[in-house]
Every structure is written in C-alpha cells, then in structure tokens.
C-alpha cells in the first residue's frame, strides 16, 4: 500500500519508523538531490499545512527530494496526523523518536539519515517562508563555492521580543568577533547546506535550539563559505518551546564552546594578555611608590595572566594536533 509505515532499528534507546511509498515515480531507493529535515513536536494543528507548503514548492521546482518529518515524541496528535496524511505525500518519510530528544538531535539524526546531497533544515511552526526552499537550493546548485545558505530574518516575531532582540544582538556580535565574520542571523532555523561538508561537525551539535548556531560557527570557523539570503519571519503557530533565560545562556555557552573547539586563542589569549599587561603596569607602579615591594594582588594578576596564556597555547596545540581543522 502507498504510504505503508514500517519499523526499523535506530540508535540504542530510540525507535524509528518511516513512510515508504510504492509509487513507481518515487521508490525508496531512488537517489534524491535534496533532503528536507522537518522536526515536529506538538504541531498537530498546522503540521500538515506545513508539509503541503513544502511539497508544493519542491514539486513545482522539479527537483528530486525527500521530506523527512521527524516526530520528537509529541504528546498530541502530530504523529497520527502525519501517518494519516502519508499516502498523499509519496516523497515524505516519517521518523518517530521513542523519547523527546530536542530539535538538535532531530536535525543531527535527520542529516545522518538523509539521502540527498543537499540538506535543508526548517521548522514546522509556520514561521519560515518554506516556499522559498528551492531558492536556497538553487544558490548551492549555481555556485559550487558556497557550502551553506542561511535564511537571514529581517524581523523578530518570537516570544519575549523585548528581551530576545538585545540578547541575540549581543550573542551575534560575540560570534562575529570570535569568527571574524559578518553574521546577519546567527540562529535562523531555515538553511540549506551540503551534507558531505556537514558530516564532520554533526557530532558537535547540542540537543537543543543552539544546534543552528553550532552549524553556522562550525562552517565559518573552517572557512566554508556561508551566504545569507534575506527572508521574512511570521508569527509562530502554536506554543513556543523557547525558554528565554535557559536557552539564551545555552546560546552564549555554545558560541564560546565552538570557538574554543576550533580557535581557543581567540577566547583565552585576549584576557591573558590584558592580565599580563595590567600586572606588569601595576608592578611598575608598586616599584615607584613602594620601592622593592610588589603587592600580592600584583603578583596574582600577572601569574593568572601567564597561566591563562599557557592554557591558550596548550589548547591551540591540542586543536592543531587533532587534524580536523
């Protein structure tokens, strides 16, 4: 039967299912050019509308594709709605998680399971203009030098807007400083990239929202060209899963973690040099005003700078010995 759902083994602790079409025009073994990974968690009221929008745009584009709809253990009828609609969408595969694992885990496993050369990440909450997915793919097809295309939002429509805007601006500026790159949108959920390029970095993806920040910084830190395409951003359908304080903290931590992973000197050496300079200047001051005497805090500041600088050099040596940067 078209759209029959069968089970298959996945990583320990998870069970997946997929929708297999017997449509001769789209057999499961047919190579596809694009895989669209769609995380679905409690999106029952609009998930089918989103699937329809994506499949219509891709069908009109003439590109070969698969839509990988991943249910992240929804507590509503999201999975049932997807399985019920599966016969209408022969190019949709359904994966089901046994435990709620977060959008980062969904995107990581979805990318690993993807059969397309190009992978698209987006959301099922009706916020992103998914009808423009073919445009992002066209940029990658037309310019082999570009490895990732990010939909850069021109407005902010999320919850906690008053707090989110300055917080995201600050985090973005930190990321720009640490990566020496202009980043119009650090955590956009709509992006297309070359799967082969992304594979070494998938293990770095955290389980939550900051996975999109991680993949951006990973590409930039390793000199993979990233292009930004302005897009609109609509008000979310359903309930937001974003928690401002917890997720903002994770964003900042993940930016620092990723830059430390690829270029620790960027994070550690500036404070080390500042402490050494301050300690040296204060030592000169102590010698002038208290000849032959150094204050305890002068020694502590100077030695702390030396320790952090030594850690920076050691971390940089470890990074360069890994062979993956």
> What tens digit of pLDDT does each residue of 187-205 get?
899 999 999 999 999 999 9
Residue 261, pLDDT score: 85
Where b means 16+ CB within 10 Å and e means fewer, 66-75 reads bbbbbbbebe
If we measure between CA atoms, which residue out of 95, 152, 147 comes closest to residue 117?
A: 147
Between the two ends of the chain, the Cα-to-Cα distance in Å is 48
Closest CA to 7 of 129, 99, 83, 95: 95
Rounded distance between C-alpha atoms, residue 293 and residue 270, angstroms: 28
Residue 202's pLDDT is: 94
Q: 4-262: which CATH number, 3.30.750.24, 1.10.357.10, 3.30.300.30, 3.90.550.10? A: 3.90.550.10
Asked whether 194 and 148 are in contact (CB, 8 A), the reply is yes
How many angstroms separate the CA atoms of 313 and 323, rounded? 16
Q: Which of the residues in the chain have pLDDT under 50?
A: 1-27
Torsion of CA 279, 280, 283, 288, to 10 degrees: -140
pLDDT score at 7: 37
SS3 234: coil
pLDDT for res 170: 80
The confidence score (pLDDT) of residue 64 equals 97
pLDDT of residue 237: 73
Residue with tokens 């000849």: 291
């Amino acid at each position: 039967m078209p759209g029959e759902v069968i089970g298959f083994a996945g990583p320990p602790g998870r069970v997946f299912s997929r929708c297999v079409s017997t449509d001769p025009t789209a057999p499961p073994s047919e190579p596809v050019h694009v895989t669209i990974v769609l995380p679905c968690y409690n999106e029952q009221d609009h998930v089918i509308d989103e699937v329809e929008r994506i499949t219509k745009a891709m069908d009109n584009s003439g590109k070969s594709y698969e839509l990988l709809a991943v249910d992240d253990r929804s507590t509503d009828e999201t999975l049932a709605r997807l399985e019920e609609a599966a016969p209408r969408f022969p190019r949709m595969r359904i994966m089901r998680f046994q435990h709620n694992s977060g959008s980062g885990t969904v995107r990581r496993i979805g990318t690993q399971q993807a059969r397309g050369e190009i992978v698209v990440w987006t959301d099922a909450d009706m916020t992103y203009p998914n009808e423009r997915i073919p445009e992002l793919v066209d940029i990658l097809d037309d310019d082999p030098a570009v490895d990732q295309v990010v939909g850069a939002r021109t407005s902010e429509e999320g919850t906690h807007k008053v707090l989110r805007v300055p917080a995201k601006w600050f985090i973005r500026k930190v990321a720009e400083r640490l990566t020496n790159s202009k980043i119009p949108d650090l955590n956009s959920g709509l992006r297309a990239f070359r799967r082969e390029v992304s594979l070494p970095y998938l293990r770095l993806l955290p389980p939550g929202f900051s996975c999109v920040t991680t993949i951006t910084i990973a590409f930039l830190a390793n000199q993979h060209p990233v292009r930004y395409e302005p897009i609109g951003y609509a008000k979310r359908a359903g309930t937001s899963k974003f928690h401002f304080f917890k997720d903002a903290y994770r964003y900042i931590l993940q930016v620092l973690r990723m830059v430390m992973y690829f270029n620790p000197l960027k994070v550690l050496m500036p404070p080390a040099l500042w402490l050494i300079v301050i300690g040296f200047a204060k030592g000169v001051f102590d010698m002038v005003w208290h000849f032959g005497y150094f204050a305890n805090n002068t020694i502590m500041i100077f030695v702390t700078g030396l320790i952090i600088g030594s850690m920076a050099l050691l971390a940089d040596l470890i990074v360069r010995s890994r062979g993956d940067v």
